[in-house]
Amino acid sequence: MSSAKLVAESGKILDVASKDAPLTVRGLTVSYGNKPAVFSVDASIPAGSMTAIIGPNGAGKSTFLKGALGVVPSLSGEVRIFGKLFEDARDRVAYVPQRASVDWDFPARVIDVVLMGLYGSVGLFRLWRARHREQAMECLKRVGMADFADRQIGQLSGGQQQRVFLARALAQNAEFYLLDEPFAGVDAATERAIVSVLKELKSEGRTVVCVHHDLSTVAEYFDRVLLINVRRIAEGPVETTFTAENLQETYGGRLAATHIDELHLA
Amino acid sequence: MGFGDYFISALFLQAGYNSALVAIGAGLLGLSAGSAGAFIFLRKRALVSDAISHATLPGVGLAFIIMVAFGSDGRWLPGLILGSAISSAIGLLMVEWITRKTRLTEDAAIGAVLSVFFGFGIVLLTVIQTMSSGRQAGLENFLLGSTAGMLISEATTIAVAGAMAAGFVFLLRRPMTLVAFDPEYAATTGVNVRNIDLAMMGLALIVTVIGLKIVGLILIVALLIIPPVAARFWTNQVGKMIGIAAVIGGLSGYVGAVLSAAHAALPTGPIIVLVAFGFFMISALFSPLRGGLASALRHQRFQRRVHRRQGLLSLARREPIYDGLTIRILRRAGMIRADGVATARGRIAAEKAAHDEARWAMARRMLPDDSAIERYDGLTPIERMMTPDQIAEIDRMIHNAQTTQGAKA
């Protein structure tokens, strides 16, 4: 079986079905050195969906997200955001990086980090106005962090840091949100707050994609999954795609059969 | 006129037009160094700027040799600055290239570029010493800086370039802040991270080459890094930190230049750096925000409050207190007698503490997601962090729990 034919087939489907989908990826390959972290992955995220990207550690989930957004250079592949190149659709996209990717001792207050989400709309030279501050406060309220606006970010717990990052993305008022492990190492209160904000975004017709690692909450939080282990294993609605068989293929021997049984899958 | 008198008059620009201009030039150099250095410090690239400054030396030497070969005076400052800028730009690009294209880490690349360029520069200086026109060149002054015999045109060049560099920092403050804090996110919002990084290092390069004459290439990194490090003690906001770093850098340059001019034997660069270090020491010790003394005091006060609270809760539970510090604190506050028995005042305070503790315990169960629970430090009375309505509700729940417990019993 020629894999080239497969790519062509899926490519044809993408062209017809999802002209302006928030994200279409064809044959994305990203490598660190000469070892591909993501190899020839196709994906298509429909508008208004909530997708979990799932796979074992080191399977390239975060790299796929970064490659799609051009944060890390890709070796090959085509990425379209709302049918356009990312450069031309930037203001419709908000990215929430892993919170461990920054130094939280940076001299900034919570409100300053949220205001960073408004840099794009304020421009390089103009000064902050009361209106921008209000906008940022509104976003902090949505994640339950309004009382922390003037705190130094170094004094926040991990969950609070994650909510500040989400508030910064909310300030961008985007149509398409991509989050890298938003639930990693956060407390229960934060997880509830983030889930409710994400569901709000979905109910407003926006699209959400999360790199996710907790298999037990996939069905509760998301309506679609993208299973990745360097290559794309499967993609589709949770009911039909989040199956024991696909999980076994994604995780290989790394996922105990008992663990899969506990998920009560179809 | 003694050293002290001269210093005072120079400080207020009364010691002659020339030294006033040198002081102003050094001040503006420090201002640009402090503000540009703030971003280099936040991006954690202080060592790269050290490589840049050491890579200037071969450029200085080659520029001198070329200018002499064309029959002009080799000491013409703009020519030397241009030469040093070119060679340090090559050094910077080599560090970048080695880091990107080989498996070597940045610190190894910095070490290699810094030492090779500096070594080559020293060889060139030695060669120049043997040239007939080279003996009086005074190029070794570029190592540690000297304002002696500085021309007015040179001071003006430095002042104007310093002011321009500070202006660039102001213009680029937002993208540079974003890249320093979160480069991946910055990239998704359309900031060209590589260009901003190059602009940041380009500013360090400009500060370095215009600072050659005053501070010298060995110590310029100190003027880039000490002011922001000192400024960090005073504020948690990046904008204010840049401003404070600029002021500390400017004052260091100004005062240092005046000090060294007041005594011809004092080298300018080291004096400016020592003045900057003075500001650092003051900041590290005495800043009320992050300074050592204030932190120690805050920690001690917090420890005492914890002991007081624990002691009062023990009193409320009628448990004996063994901790010496707790006993001393309660004694001094008049809560217990010498034999450890609670006074009337102590009993009231203990009851209040126990009541507050019970309210917090109920609040944690009822409102686990409330931000007051997250912000609670274990000591602050609940009245100060929750609304009267919330507290009334908490009291009602405590009352209910007690009555059901009573009914069970």
* Domains identified in chain A and CATH numbers: 23-102+174-260 (3.40.50.300)
Domain identity same for B268 and B321: no
* Residues B174, A102: C-beta atoms closer than 8 Å: no
Interface contact B377, partner A, CB < 8 A = no
Interface contact B369, partner A, CB < 8 A = yes
C-alpha torsion sign, points B135, B136, B139, B143: positive
Task: Name residue, tokens 């944060």.
Answer: A71
* Residues A71, B184: C-beta atoms closer than 8 Å: yes
Interface contact B14, partner A, CB < 8 A = no
ipTM: 0.87
Residue A256 scores a pLDDT above 70: no
Q: Which long-range contacts (CB under 8 A, 24 or more apart) does B102-107 make?
A: B106/B47, B106/B48, B107/B47
Domain identity same for B278 and B304: no
Q: What is the pLDDT of residue B30?
A: 95
Domain end among B237, B271, B286: B286
How many CA atoms, within 13 angstroms, populate the side-chain half-sphere of residue B296? 6
Q: What is the pLDDT of residue A6?
A: 40
Domain identity same for B181 and B298: no
Buried b (16+ CB within 10 A) or exposed e, B109-132: bbbebbeebbebbeebbeebeeee
Q: What is the pLDDT of residue A145?
A: 93
Q: Which two tokens stand for residue A3?
A: 């894999």
Q: Which two tokens stand for residue B90?
A: 């090559």
Q: What range does the domain containing B82 cover?
A: 3-286
What percent of chain A is predicted at pLDDT more than 70? 88
Cα–Cα–Cα angle for B56, B57, B58, nearest 5°?
100
Domain end among B237, B262, B286: B286
Interface contact B387, partner A, CB < 8 A = no
Q: What is the pLDDT of residue A153?
A: 95
Q: How far apart are CA B285 and CA B295, in angstroms?
A: 9
Domain identity same for B23 and B88: yes
Task: Using pLDDT thresholds of 50, 70 and 90, give the confidence band for residue A7.
Answer: very low
* Residues B241, A107: C-beta atoms closer than 8 Å: yes
Selected for mutation to probe chain B from A34, A99, A147, A211 (highest B CB count within 10 Å) is: A147
Q: What is the pLDDT of residue A264?
A: 67
Interface contact B42, partner A, CB < 8 A = yes
A-B Cβ pairs (cutoff 8 Å, strict): 83
Task: Choose among A101, A125, A147: nearest Cβ to B375.
Answer: A147
Selected for mutation to probe chain A from B44, B168, B188, B233 (highest A CB count within 10 Å) is: B188
Interface contact A239, partner B, CB < 8 A = no
Rounded mean pLDDT, A107-130? 85
Amino acid (1-letter code) at residue B329: I
Selected for mutation to probe chain A from B171, B181, B240 (highest A CB count within 10 Å) is: B181
Of B101, B50, B76, give the one whose Cα is nearest residue B208: B50
Residues of A in contact with B372 (CB under 8 A): 147
Interface contact A158, partner B, CB < 8 A = no
CB B227 within 8 A of CB B220: no
Rounded mean pLDDT, A203-226? 94
Q: How many helical (H) and strand (E) elements, i.e. helices and strands, does chain A have?
A: 12, 9
Residue A15 scores a pLDDT above 50: no
* Residues A193, B369: C-beta atoms closer than 8 Å: yes
Distances (CA, A) of B255 to B13, B135, B156: 11, 31, 18
Of A144, A204, A142, give the one whose Cα is nearest residue A177: A204
What CATH number is associated with residue B73? 1.10.3470.10
Interface contact A100, partner B, CB < 8 A = no
Report phi then psi at A84, rounded to 5.
-120, 170
Q: How far apart are CA B49 and CA B37, in angstroms?
A: 9
Residue A2 scores a pLDDT above 50: no
Domain identity same for B265 and B315: no
Q: What is the pLDDT of residue B403?
A: 84
Interface contact A73, partner B, CB < 8 A = no
Domain identity same for B231 and B371: no
- Residue B162 C-alpha from the chain's centroid: 20
Domain identity same for B34 and B112: yes
Residue A261 scores a pLDDT above 90: no
Report phi then psi at A85, rounded to 5.
-65, 150
Of A160, A144, B38, give the one whose Cα is nearest residue A152: A160
Domain identity same for B277 and B325: no
Strand order, beta sheet including A35-45: A35-45, A23-32, A76-80
Interface contact A145, partner B, CB < 8 A = yes
Interface contact B298, partner A, CB < 8 A = no
How distant is the Cα of A150 from the closest Cα of chain B, in angstroms? 10
Q: Which two tokens stand for residue B321?
A: 């207190």
Q: What is the pLDDT along chain B (409 residues), one digit of tens a residue?
A: 566 777 777 677 666 777 788 889 999 999 999 999 999 999 999 899 999 999 999 999 999 999 988 888 888 888 999 999 999 999 999 998 998 888 888 899 999 999 999 999 999 998 888 887 655 667 888 888 888 778 888 888 888 999 999 999 999 998 999 999 999 999 999 899 999 999 999 999 999 999 998 999 999 999 999 999 999 999 999 999 999 999 999 999 999 998 888 877 788 899 999 999 999 999 999 999 899 999 999 999 999 999 999 999 999 998 888 898 999 999 999 999 888 888 999 999 999 999 999 999 999 888 877 878 888 888 888 988 888 888 898 999 888 888 887 776 5
* Residues B374, A109: C-beta atoms closer than 8 Å: no
Chain B: residue whose CA lies nearest to A32 = B103
Q: What is the pLDDT of residue A180?
A: 95
What percent of chain A is predicted at pLDDT more than 90? 69
CB B245 within 8 A of CB B35: yes
Residues of A in contact with B245 (CB under 8 A): none
Residue A258 scores a pLDDT above 70: no
Domain identity same for B150 and B232: yes
Domain identity same for B239 and B193: yes
Of B214, B60, B209, give the one whose Cα is nearest residue B123: B60
Q: How far apart are CA A99 and CA A117, in angstroms?
A: 15
Interface contact A118, partner B, CB < 8 A = no
When divided into structural domains, chain B yields a total of 2
Domain identity same for B301 and B270: no
Interface contact B375, partner A, CB < 8 A = yes
Residues of B in contact with A152 (CB under 8 A): 236
Could you read off the pLDDT of A164-173 as tens digits, one per residue? 999 999 999 9
Cα–Cα–Cα angle for B94, B171, B223, nearest 5°?
55
Residues of A in contact with B235 (CB under 8 A): 107
Q: How far apart are CA B4 and CA B14, in angstroms?
A: 13
Domain identity same for B222 and B298: no
Domain end among B286, B309, B329: B286
Residues of B in contact with A166 (CB under 8 A): none
Residue A17 scores a pLDDT above 50: no
Q: What is the pLDDT of residue B282?
A: 97
* Residues B188, A90: C-beta atoms closer than 8 Å: yes
